[in-house]
Amino acid sequence: MLEDPREHDSYRLSNLGLALERTTVQLDEKNAANFAYRGANVLASAIENPRVTMDGGTFAELVSALGKLGRLLNPMDAARLADRLSTAINRPEKPQTAHFMAIIGALPPLANRLSPTDASRVAKLLATAMENPTETNYAVSKLGEVLVNFVSRMAPKEATGMASRCTAAVLSRMESLQGADLVSLGVPLEKLSTKMDQAELSNVAYRLVQAMEKYQEAGNGPLPEFGITLEKLLDRLEPQAAASLSSRCVLVLAESLENPRYFYRSEQLAVPLGKLVAR
């Protein structure tokens, strides 16, 4: 039923996938992995297929079903599926938004099944998508969050290089101060920062403060979310290096807080400001 090529109903597909996952617990490990791989490929085809319509609910159900099957795969099959999904997001005929988000949402459960070499290959494909100038800030943010799962599986030296590459992609967008969902980029930046040394971390924090100052000078309003990200970065910096950057960020946030135009954001501004002042 799950492999019926005429089936395009995402709700039924996700339910069949979940039923298959529950059935495999009665099988030995090898047969469970084989059936899980067949089912996972069907669901992967569904989230890649523009004819399969998805709303918010079925999107989550398909990703959940694919994730549960993915955890049953042997490392080789998990790598094949991760390669397939990460390749799909870089095709010239870009998947529709819901399908794109489903594809990247299905990747994290596969990361723990991959070898460092396989994880590195998938990370490179995700990094390429992050560097695509046509991607939205929100898509880049989600790609960065997913990529961290694969970076954690890579060899330490290679993981550091990959984190630097993707941090550069995120920072360049933050510094451009363009596009919607700009504040969402702080999430992957904070997660990628765990792979940085002190010198690189200091540079990233410095550029983030500059972006906040530039944004405010342009009259675009406050960016308390950047302040929250910066506060987390400073926690990893040596005290002397963190102190001067913290002071600059405090000035930016305080100026916004004193401006009556931004009263509606006073609560959001007070959170990072309070933490930075207390350092």
Kindly report, residue by residue over 182-193, the tens digit of the pLDDT.
888 989 999 998
190-247 residue pLDDT tens: 999 888 888 899 999 899 888 888 877 777 766 778 888 888 888 888 888 888 888 8
What pLDDT does residue 195 have?
87
When mean pLDDT is compared across 37-41, 112-116, 117-121, the lowest value belongs to 37-41
Question: Helix/strand/coil (H, E, C) string of the chain?
Answer: CCCCCCCCCHHHHHHHHHHHHHHHCCCCHHHHHHHHHHHHHHHHHHHHCCCCCCCHHHHHHHHHHHHHHHCCCCHHHHHHHHHHHHHHCCCCCCCCHHHHHHHHHCCHHHHCCCCHHHHHHHHHHHHHHHCCCCCCHHHHHHHHHHHHHHHCCCCHHHHHHHHHHHHHHHHHHHHHCCCCCHHHHHHHHHHHHHHCCHHHHHHHHHHHHHHHHHHHHCCCCCCHHHHHHHHHHHCCCCHHHHHHHHHHHHHHHHHHHHCHHHHHHHHHHHHHHHHHHCC
Task: Please tell me the predicted confidence (pLDDT) of residue 181.
Answer: 84
Q: For residue range 27-53, what is the model confidence (pLDDT) as tens digits?
A: 577 877 887 888 888 878 877 877 776
Whether the predicted pLDDT of 112 surpasses 80 = yes
User: Is pLDDT above 90 for 147?
Assistant: yes
Amino acid 61: pLDDT:
76
For 240-271, how does the pLDDT look when each residue is reduced to its tens digit (9 = 90+)?
888 888 888 888 888 877 877 777 677 777 77
